[in-house]
Structure 1
Amino acid sequence: MLAFDLLMLAVVAERLAELVVSTRHARWALARGGVETGRGHYPTMVALHAALLVGCVVEVHAAHRPFLPLLGATALAVAVAMQGLRWWCIATLGTQWSTRVIVVPGLGLVRRGPYRWVNHPNYVAVVVEGIALPLVHTAWVTAIVFTVLNAVLLAGFRIPAEERALVGAT
């Protein structure tokens, strides 16, 4: 379990790095006339993502989840691949990337990198990682609960907010 706890600490550190980048990019966008939308769902999204990390650790320890090497190794490989996709999205969008929905008028849609094939590749990473990360140590309840709640948040609030913002900007 110690290895899993250390993995989760590494994920927390990575998320904090994302927030630093996001804050810098949000300041950049707002200074250039960026318009933020979707503020109402943002605190819920942050809480849900924090709950995923806490839930993984709590479930593994409280329910004494076993480590299954084949499942754990596969899930870890998938989670690492999703981190790669997430940072590819961040690098591709550059200063246009933020955890908030901010659109700078006059900047066109990005259609390179993973955005060539998928409109919201970062959400592909979030969805797949939300399943894979808990399964590294068989925290299947956390995987299911996060996946269901995240689907509601993405489909009902986040993606529609982004689509409206992007349509208004083009």
Structure 2
Amino acid sequence: MIWYTVLVLAVGAERVAELVVARRNMRWSLEHGAVERGQGHYPAMVVLHTGLLLGCLAEVWAAGRPFDPALGWTMFGLVVAAQALRWWCIRTLGPRWNTRVLVVPGLPLVTGGPYRLLRHPNYVAVVAEGLALPLVHGAWLTALVFTVLNAALLTVRIRCENRVLAPGFALGGDETDTAGARP
């Protein structure tokens, strides 16, 4: 179980690295006239993703979940693939990537990298990781709870982003949970 704890802590460190990149990118976006949307659901997203990491550790340690090599190594491969996809998204979007919903007016929609294949590839990474990370060590309850709650959150988040990415959307007004951009 120690190696699983190290894995979850490594994913947590990756999240901190994302926040450092997001903070830097937020400064760039604001300097270029960005408008933020979706502020209302952002705290829930932070709590949910923190809960995923804590839930993984709590369930494995408290319930004594066993490591099943066939499932565990397969899910570990999926976690690695999710991280690779996430960082491909970050690299493709460059300074436009963020954990927040920030839109710089006048910039064209990104259609390269993974965005040439999917409209929201970063969320594919989030869904895959949210399912796979707990299942690396049999934390099926955490995987289930995160997946259900994440589906509800992504419904709000993607609707928010799709609205602001729609052609002709006006960035004015005070909408806080109904418009967004690609993180």
Residues 1:166 and 2:165 are matched in the alignment: yes
Taking structure 2 as the reference length, the TM-score comes to 0.91
Report 1:115-130 matches (<5 A): 115-130=115-130
Deviation at 1:106, TM superposition (A): 1.0
Deviation at 1:166, TM superposition (A): 1.4
Report 1:2-151 matches (<5 A): 2-151=2-151
Aligned residue pairs, count: 169
Which whole-Å CA distance do the structure 2 matches of 1:23 and 1:46 have between them? 15
Deviation at 1:164, TM superposition (A): 1.4
Deviation at 1:117, TM superposition (A): 1.0
Deviation at 1:131, TM superposition (A): 0.4
Deviation at 1:115, TM superposition (A): 0.3
Counterpart AA for 2:50: A
Aligned-residue identity in percent: 63
**Structure 1 unaligned runs (5+)?**
none
**Structure 2 unaligned runs (5+)?**
172-183
What secondary structure, in the 3-state scheme, does the structure 2 residue paired with 1:110 have? Answer: coil
Deviation at 1:169, TM superposition (A): 6.6
Counterpart AA for 1:80: V
Q: Where is the helix percentage greater, Structure 1 or Structure 2?
A: 1
Which whole-Å CA distance do the structure 2 matches of 1:59 and 1:68 have between them? 15
What secondary structure, in the 3-state scheme, does the structure 2 residue paired with 1:39 have? Answer: coil
Which whole-Å CA distance do the structure 2 matches of 1:9 and 1:82 have between them? 16
Taking structure 1 as reference, are residues 169 and 125 closer, same or farther at Cα in structure 2, changes over 3 Å only? farther
Contact 1:105 1:169 in 2 (8 A): no
Contact 1:65 1:138 in 2 (8 A): yes
Backbone CA RMSD of aligned residues: 1.1
Deviation at 1:136, TM superposition (A): 0.4
C-alpha deviations, 1:68-126, integer Å up to 9, x for none? 11111000000000000000000000001000000001110000000001000000010
Taking structure 1 as reference, are residues 64 and 56 closer, same or farther at Cα in structure 2, changes over 3 Å only? same
Taking structure 1 as the reference length, the TM-score comes to 0.97
C-alpha deviations, 1:115-154, integer Å up to 9, x for none? 0010000000100110000000000000000000000000
The residue that corresponds to 2:179 in the other structure is none
